Amino acid sequence: MRHLLARAAIIFVLGVIFSGGLKDGWDNIRWLGVLQRIGIASAAAGLLSLWFGTRGLSVAAAVLLAGYYLLLRFVPVPGVGAGNFAESMNLTNYLDSIWLPGRKHDGNHDPEGILSTLPAIATALLGLLAGRWITGTASPMRKVLGLILAGAVMFALGWAWHPYFPVIKKIWSSSFVLVAAGCSAVLVGLFYLLVDVCGWRRGLAPFMWVGSNPIALYLCSGFGFFRTISERLITKPAPPFDWIPSATTFAVMLATAWWLHRRKIFLRV
């Protein structure tokens, strides 16, 4: 529990720094963002896993997704009413405009806001359940089939829910959680089949390089380190070669990931 809470606090602080920290004053701190959400959601999912087994975690994810839908569908927004999922007219954005202090990414609300943290915890729970399945005792092929089947079911359920609760990333709608988790589960299943079952390794090393230091690379990218190096290496060409700076930035990031992995430097929280 101490590790989960400490990790969440560190990632949260990194997220605040990543979003600008105090450079524009206390009132302009972006308190919630991508890294802050990762810290909060992963800690919440981890804490739940200390007390619940697979069935309990599955129920918790379902309750979070259903509860979030019911809140947005039936709790009225002043001046708008209930069941409106449009930007600035839904309950998620409304609560951010009232209760979320500091700078918001989208004016008076944030895509990583307060209420949408609930379905984000469900996303973390689904990832945790996938991890338990992969590290479980089932046979390799059963793991592959389980991931792909579960992914297909979640993807279908998400789009079936779409007419009633649209797939919207910016409010992390429950249907979006299912669609995104479904795609992820299918891809994990296919890669597990390719790498762990079939033993295919050729050409997949870059995925391992990046996956070994994801938060460190994300921070470096956000602070503009890779872009700065790219700009010093190459000037901005005119079309149709204006894609070269972006490709160079990506190459610098990949080279950094390779260098860190080769020297066994793993910057983890």
Q: pLDDT digit string (tens) for 91-130? A: 999 999 999 999 999 999 999 999 999 999 999 999 999 9
The larger pLDDT score, comparing residue 58 to residue 241, is at: 58
Domain boundary among 199, 225, 244: 199
Same domain, yes or no: 259 and 207: yes
Same domain, yes or no: 89 and 111: yes
Please state the domain count of the chain.
2
Same domain, yes or no: 137 and 162: yes
Identify the domain containing residue 21 by its residue range: 2-199
Q: Which neighbouring-strand residues pair with 109? A: 106
pLDDT mean across residues, the chain? 94
Same domain, yes or no: 85 and 195: yes
